[in-house]
Amino acid sequence: MINLYELARYLEAHDNYEILTHAYPDGDTLGSGFALCLALQQIGKNARVITTNVPSKFTYLLNGVKEQDFEAEVIISTDVAADTLLGSNMEKYIGRIDMCIDHHGSNTITAKEKFVDRFAAANCEIIYKLFQRMNIKITEQIADCLYTGISTDTGCFRYTNTTSETMRVAAQLMDFGCNTGYINKVMFETKSKTKIQIEQAVYDTMTYCANGRCAIIYTTLDMFKSLDVGDDEMEGLASIPRQIEGVLMGITMREKESGFFKISVRTNDGINASEFCSQFGGGGHPAAAGCAIEGTLDEVRNKLIEAAEKVLK
């Protein structure tokens, strides 16, 4: 593990950078990658970002990024916690990463050197502090990239990972002219028509048990087919049941194949989600865990209801 000062000197000392982001890219990995790319180009380096894809709502992050033709010398990963998370880029880059910059305490990626700060709410918070040590001018574009990462990884400063330091970095980015109005609107105030339809369909599946302390929702293959949506539209659904007043355990069942369900469990008030899932061969964190159960919709739901009523009795 190197420190932030050493990381700054390292980036100044080399020239031709490829920056890796994680598969199913989110605002933090893309914001980190493109901010770093813009900063390196600003101080006369060659740099490019390698992504599996850039979802359309994130295309503004590419503003101002120059396409440069060069042979990569240094491979950097940003916000990538493990080799497998490189997705389709894994085969090409595994074992070749020179420097990892990440905020996941669980980081296991194969890299020659690492800077990992698990107290940073977002990887973009680290990147901002890095730039302070490199005399990077925070342009509007760089500020947009960093604010995107920080706001998306904290649910717009709502999640418990948000620290006073996170707020102060965001304040500085606002002073540097980042377009919070646009970014917040796109990230937090926009739902696709399909998403509305899915939510509507999912609300119809809501079952309460354990005297309202457990809520269960589900999606089925038939629902996907009739709404003509992919699995990626399911993002965020798992948080719905836990948000309901009085619910201590929110369960989301997703039919992945006929007779096979993936289960997400989210809990409040110290109910152990990981322990709950372990009885079905799964696991995870205390407040967010998962497992897989075979059976028909009713069979699986009944198993979950029975188990939930035992825990919440």
Interface residues toward a second copy, by CB under 8 A = 156-160, 162-165, 167-168, 170-172, 174-175, 180-181, 184-185, 188-193, 196, 199-200, 203-204, 206, 208, 212, 239, 242-246, 268
Q: Helix 140-153 crosses helix 27-42 at what angle (to 10 degrees)?
A: 160
Structure tokens at 210: 């354990």
Those residues with Cβ within 8 angstroms of residue 168's Cβ, 6 or more apart along the chain or in another chain:
none
Supply the minimum distance, in Å, between the C-beta of residue 141 and a second copy.
18
Helices (H), 43-139: 90-93, 123-132
Supply the minimum distance, in Å, between the C-beta of residue 244 and a second copy.
6
Beta carbon nearer to a second copy, 8 or 273: 273
Distances (CA, A) of 313 to 209, 229, 271, 308: 10, 37, 12, 8
Beta carbon nearer to a second copy, 52 or 172: 172
Supply the minimum distance, in Å, between the C-beta of residue 194 and a second copy.
9
SS3 48: strand
Supply the minimum distance, in Å, between the C-beta of residue 17 and a second copy.
31
Beta carbon nearer to a second copy, 90 or 156: 156
d(CA 117, CA 151): 18
Beta carbon nearer to a second copy, 73 or 165: 165
| CB distance 301 to 283 below 8 Å | no
Beta carbon nearer to a second copy, 196 or 221: 196
Supply the minimum distance, in Å, between the C-beta of residue 246 and a second copy.
7
